A and B are shown apart, each in its own frame.
Chain A
Amino acid sequence: MIPEIGHFALIVALCMALVQGTLPLVGAARGIPRWMALARPVAQGQFVFVAISFICLTYAFIHSDFSVLYVAEHSNADLPLIYRIAGVWGGHEGSLLLWILMLTIWMLAVTVFSRHLPEEMVARVLGVMGLVAVGFNSFILFTSDPFERLLPAAASGQDLNPLLQDPGLAIHPPMLYMGYVGFSVAFAFAIAALLGGKLDATWARWSRPWTTVAWMFLTCGIALGSWWSYYELGWGGWWFWDPVENASFMPWLVGTALIHSLAVTEKRGSFKSWTVLLAIFAFSLSLLGTFLVRSGVLTSVHSFASDPKRGLFILIFLVVVVGSSLMLYAWRAPKVGLGGSFALLSRESLLLANNVLFTTAAGTVLLGTLAPLIVDALVAVGILGPTNKISVGAPYFNLVFVPIMAVAIFFLGVGPVAKWKKAELPELAARGRWAGISAVIVAVIMPFLLGHWSWLVSLGILMAFWIIFTVGHSLWERLHRSRSDRGWWGRFAGLPKSFLGMQLAHFGVAIFILGVTVIGGYETGKDVKMDIGDTVEVGGYTFRFDGVMDTSGPNYQASRGIIKVFKDGLPVMELNPEKRVYHVQRQPTTEAAIDSGFFRHLFVALGEPVGNGSWSVRVYYKPLVSWIWLGCVLMALGGLLAISDRRYRTLARKQREMLLSGAEQKLPGAHPNPAMTRAEVKS
């Protein structure tokens, strides 16, 4: 009965989405207030029904209702409760339900936090999101129904994929989807602005916090996924340029460009059409990501066994969304007009460089990811002769991505100190001089201190310290110029949050680069066969293998390795990597044992038993690896800090009257604009 309720709730939600996707839009176009007013209650209702549906599926999982096919395929009565819940999104159907749940959560958020927006805008934004919901909801109902019954019911379930039975993976998809789907808000704002023909700084200011929040979730989601693959796949890599990773990374790159472009649109009114285009791309790439993951067209470690019908549905949906929004764009964008003009060297032009670089990077990742598909397609239509399946390896991405980002990092140091409209080269050079010189000195010396010198390491350190020094320099300048007499801490606390947020996020980039660089240059490790009592030296530590013992968990049997670690002859710890075999799927999984320190990880994983009690063992010393994720967390926190800026709250109150009076710039009482240059503050 419960699954039927879930199914029915989903059908009701689809009907509400249909209403939400049509009437408010028509109402906004024709000026019918009652139709526009429908948007909020219908969106909230849709949230309620999708939530009911989601709860029903969760209930079926918790109570191991194996008369539901999806539950029987992805759960088991022996599964611990947390994984029975995480099992809801452990497969295709449920993860789509999660997708749509996230979408309705975002809609709900829009209905709550949009009181200061004009009614037409709300109607259009929610209308567009309603259309997206129609697409995904019918995708679920017509091709991937999670509530399909299995009669007679299975006696026991096929269990959740053992690799997914992990706390990291329990929260990774919700985070990632929150980010993916969050770009639908930015997208909806962009389309709403195109429909309404009103694309201005006010629009950018509305859409900016939404984009930042989505970007934060996506950042955390990607970082979590990377962390998960680091410790769960047993080979200690943190990024593989796997198509599915790329699928989440491309929207992130474009989203990052979008955040920066929105800054220009908000402050200066420029880049308007470009910003809209980026918003469309960011969401389209999220959809493309979903298509790539769900359709199974690409070889990937994540691919689900899947049904071509589903891939086709998403492909059509993708074409409709991208096609119609680009058409709308082509029709409306020429009327948008240009914003303020700017000189060849100005903060605008530097942010433009950031945008171009990030979109280029996204483009090259896209090309590398889709190349196998493109070749297949060219063969299919006869442009290329018959050829074998190709694949593009990780070196391609590193070779292309690193140089592009190196240039972007250079601009990252300069951009925040350049003036809007027109910057002077001598002044920029003067301000960046010390940061640049110090960074070069550190980059030359530090690799020697770390062990050995190499170009790549030196370049990485140069980039990281270039950021650190420029961030430090602008903070110092700000504090110095602040007229507050509340002491240094008071001055620091008095700095605008969005300024601090930006600096924190940029500092996070530096930490991330340091992690990547140091682990790339100084990681050491070995795959060895170890008999009982054998030792191996890695990174100044001695690892002694004391055999394995059998152990068992709630739903698995495991061989647990006993590895004692010594430093300078003294025992420092014991590591217990496991090789687990889960009862149902009989698939072995590797649980690496990691001693996580701030400056280094010791990573030990069991390979296979190779006779007489000996095992093949993988032992790594990974310096600074945790900084990779720390950097991502700092970036996300930077975003959080930026949206907590006072001007958004002041704005919320003042917006309506400002709109009525037609003036949108220079709010009285708003905080001094953080990104505003000295020139403007002076003038």
Chain B
Amino acid sequence: MKPRHKRLTFILVGLAGVAVAAGLVLNAFRGNITFAFSPSEVVAGKVPHGSNFRLGGLVEKGSLERENDGLTVHFVVTDLAQNVKVTYKGILPDLFKEGTGAVSLGKMGPDGVFHAQEVLAKHDEKYMPPEVARALKEAKKDKTKGMPVTMNEGGGNL
């Protein structure tokens, strides 16, 4: 084989590899990107029907209820403007607390309740997930001025 042909073969094999990798990436991206929505957006109907998404916000104080099976919980996620009811079956993370931020992954049910498959809270209680911080910021922006919104969690990372 001439060196020129050899180089060409290397390049072709390389290109084929890149194409396969790109295909894999695109395919994997298609099914596994989730968008974050705030309770206000959910209530306004901005979430595409039946899609998985991440719901960010504060867990409303006093809203956590537990069913008799000990595993199914209901709580309300709020961005201080709108509320969304969430139901989840499983063990909640240690950092999950009423009045602090949480991100839930799941989809809206026909009953208007968000069915979470996963609930995330973070390592560091000083840290606020960007989804939550954004939800609070957006809600604050939309509200009429003069209504004080306390953000004692200090979403400083935006």
Contact = CB atoms under 8 A, between A and B. Distances in A.
Contacts of B131: 299, 389
Interface stretch (B64-72, B76-84, B143-151): B64-72
B40 to A, nearest CB: 12
A92 B41 CA distance: 35
Given A299-B129, A303-B127, A618-B91, A395 B70 contact: no
Contacts of A399: 24, 27-28, 32
Given A305-B127, A356-B14, A390-B36, A404 B25 contact: no
B34 A391 contact: yes
Interface string B47-86: 0000000100000000000100111000000000000000
Contacts of B126: 305
A585 B17 contact: no
B33 A390 contact: yes
A424 B18 CA distance: 26
B17 A360 contact: yes
A370 interface: no
Contacts of A614: 70
Interface string A376-415: 0000000000011111110111011001100000000000
B32 A388 contact: no
A156 interface: no
A182 interface: no
B157 interface: yes
A391 B69 contact: no
A302 B71 contact: no
A616 B24 contact: no
A301 interface: yes
B71 A616 contact: yes
A607 B70 CA distance: 10
Given A303-B127, A389-B35, A389-B36, A404 B134 contact: no
A328 interface: no
Contacts of A429: none
B17 A356 contact: yes
A391 B105 CA distance: 11
B148 to A, nearest CB: 23
B127 A296 contact: yes
Interface in B6-32: 6, 9-10, 14, 17-18, 21, 24-25, 27-29, 31-32
A391 B28 CA distance: 13
Contacts of B127: 296, 303-305
Interface string A349-378: 100000011001001100100010000000
B13 to A, nearest CB: 9
A122 to B, nearest CB: 37
B130 interface: yes
A215 B32 CA distance: 31
A527 B90 contact: yes
Interface string B133-158: 01000000000000000000000110
Nearest to A352: B10
A376 to B, nearest CB: 9
Contact of B71 (A360, A527, A589): A527
Nearest to A301: B123
A29 interface: no
A161 interface: yes
Contacts of A205: none
Contacts of A527: 71, 90-91
Given A388-B37, A389-B131, A589 B94 contact: yes
Contacts of B111: none
Given A607-B91, A616-B71, A367 B35 contact: no
Contacts of B71: 527-529, 607, 616
Contact of A161 (B29, B91, B124, B130): B124
A308 B34 contact: no
Contact of B157 (A235, A296, A344, A588): A296
A303 B124 CA distance: 8
B1 to A, nearest CB: 7
A364 B70 contact: no
B48 to A, nearest CB: 11
A589 B125 CA distance: 12
A614 B71 CA distance: 11
Given A161-B124, A400-B25, A529-B69, A590 B35 contact: no
B29 A610 contact: no
Contacts of B32: 392-393, 395-396, 399
A76 B102 CA distance: 28
A364 B21 contact: yes
Q: Which of A363, A367, A397, A400 has the most CB of B within 10 A?
A: A400
A163 interface: yes
A232 to B, nearest CB: 10
A403 B25 CA distance: 11
A82 to B, nearest CB: 20
Contact of A393 (B34, B37, B93, B95): B34
A143 interface: no
A297 B34 CA distance: 17
B91 A400 contact: no
A392 B157 contact: no
Contacts of A343: 1, 6
B71 to A, nearest CB: 6
Contacts of B92: 607-608
Contacts of A363: 21
A577 interface: no
A69 B157 CA distance: 21
Given A303-B127, A389-B54, A607-B92, 9 more contacts: A303-B157, A364-B21, A391-B34, A391-B36, A395-B32, A527-B91, A529-B69, A610-B66, A616-B71
30 contacts: A296-B127, A299-B131, A301-B122, A303-B127, A304-B124, A305-B127, A344-B9, A356-B14, A360-B21, A364-B25, A367-B25, A371-B33, A388-B36, A388-B37, A388-B41, A389-B131, A390-B33, A393-B34, A393-B105, A396-B31, A397-B28, A404-B21, A529-B69, A587-B95, A588-B94, A589-B94, A605-B91, A610-B66, A614-B70, A616-B71
In the A-B complex, list the 5 residue pairs whose CB atoms are closest, starting with the nearest. A529-B70, A607-B91, A399-B28, A610-B70, A396-B32
Interface of B: 1, 3, 6, 9-10, 14, 17-18, 21, 24-25, 27-29, 31-37, 41, 54, 66, 69-71, 90-95, 103, 105, 120, 122-127, 129-131, 134, 156-157
Interface of A: 161, 163, 234-235, 296-297, 299, 301-308, 341, 343-344, 349, 356-357, 360, 363-364, 367, 371, 387-393, 395-397, 399-400, 403-404, 527-529, 585, 587-590, 605, 607-608, 610-611, 614-616, 618
